[in-house]
Structure 1
């Protein structure tokens, strides 16, 4: 189910950001700043985040507004899936993170898997492209696409990192407490379906 206030704030912020990118008229620039202030007010009021933090976050976004891209690697072994425990919240997720400029999505997920788990992997298939807002995650200020890749291990060994403190494989019926901002139980269950039925087409919203 859509969170309407989040949808409003994200759309207003995108309009304001695009307007501030392309407008030269000082009156229009002031109007777009006011629009960004409204988006900030909505986000801060409903998310219980400090107004100044949200405004600073929005103000640092420059250029044409497009969705951010989060990549996640699904790695299976003996009917279990690889998860890493995040240091920031103490919960578990698929290895992954933001795709960086200069990396293809598959390059980004291979890098993230190695950095967060210690395992070397290669991408087999894109399993899903999801609109984060439609997946039941807690709200975030920005609009995000989530890309889930089926990967296979080709080397390495489990190790923690500056972002993760544990690495482990878990069966579908005994998952640890998940970091819901990053992955949901429904997504993990769907990835297991892809694992057991490799001919399934890529999911998308």
Structure 2
């Protein structure tokens, strides 16, 4: 579960973002800008990240605030699962990333798996939709939904990409150090279980 201060900061940011987008009263706009500044101050206090960076990444969006969507491909070879080693932190993750405007979840997962692992896949079925705040991820300024899609390899060759260092398959009991910003051990282990239950989907 994410800390309360982070939940409150994100809620204040969402309120201020919507208010700045839809309010016409100049005094209300001033108050919503104050709320936005307060949300940035909270994050800076607890994370010690530079305020300008927080404002750029966290408090620069406009319009109605909605969750971000992270799409992950779940690919098996016999009893092993495909993981990629991330360049950013050197840890391992299911291939995937932020959903792109204009692409469906299926299209996103095909693109991400190819870019990060070199494998061409076909999406088979949805395994789960999880809310990041309920899982053991590090604190994040965004509210994130994580979509896990089971895929089958239909071509390509394993190769690292611009964002990955290595590509490999791992058994359930031999998982490497995971990039917990992207996926937790519990989530990856859950994918092994869901693979064998074709009528079951996990969701928060």
TM-score, normalized by length of structure 1?
A: 0.97
Q: Secondary structure at the match of 1:123?
A: strand
Q: Secondary structure at the match of 1:128?
A: strand
- How far 1:46 sits from its partner (Å)? 1.2
Q: Secondary structure at the match of 1:127?
A: strand
Q: Give runs of ≥4 in structure 1 deviating > 4 Å.
A: none
Q: Is 1:203 matched up with 2:202?
A: yes
Q: Which runs of 5+ in 2 are unaligned?
A: none
Residue pairs, 1:17-36, within 5 angstroms? 17-36=17-36
* 1:190 equivalent in structure 2: 190
* 1:127 equivalent in structure 2: 127
RMSD: 1.0
State the aligned residue count. Answer: 204
* 1:140 equivalent in structure 2: 140
In 2: Cα distance, 1:122 partner to 1:47 partner: 40
- How far 1:142 sits from its partner (Å)? 0.8
In 1: Cα distance, 2:74 partner to 2:157 partner: 16
CA deviation map 1:87-119 (0-9, x unaligned): 011000000000011001111111100010000
CA deviation map 1:1-32 (0-9, x unaligned): 33111100111100010001001111111100
- How far 1:63 sits from its partner (Å)? 1.2
CA contact (8 A) 2:40 2:59 kept: no
* 2:110 equivalent in structure 1: 110
Q: Which runs of 5+ in 1 are unaligned?
A: none
TM-score, normalized by length of structure 2?
A: 0.97
Q: Secondary structure at the match of 1:139?
A: coil
In 2: Cα distance, 1:184 partner to 1:39 partner: 27
Q: Is 1:63 matched up with 2:63?
A: yes
CA deviation map 1:18-75 (0-9, x unaligned): 0010011111111001001111111111122112211222342111100000000010
CA contact (8 A) 2:70 2:96 kept: yes
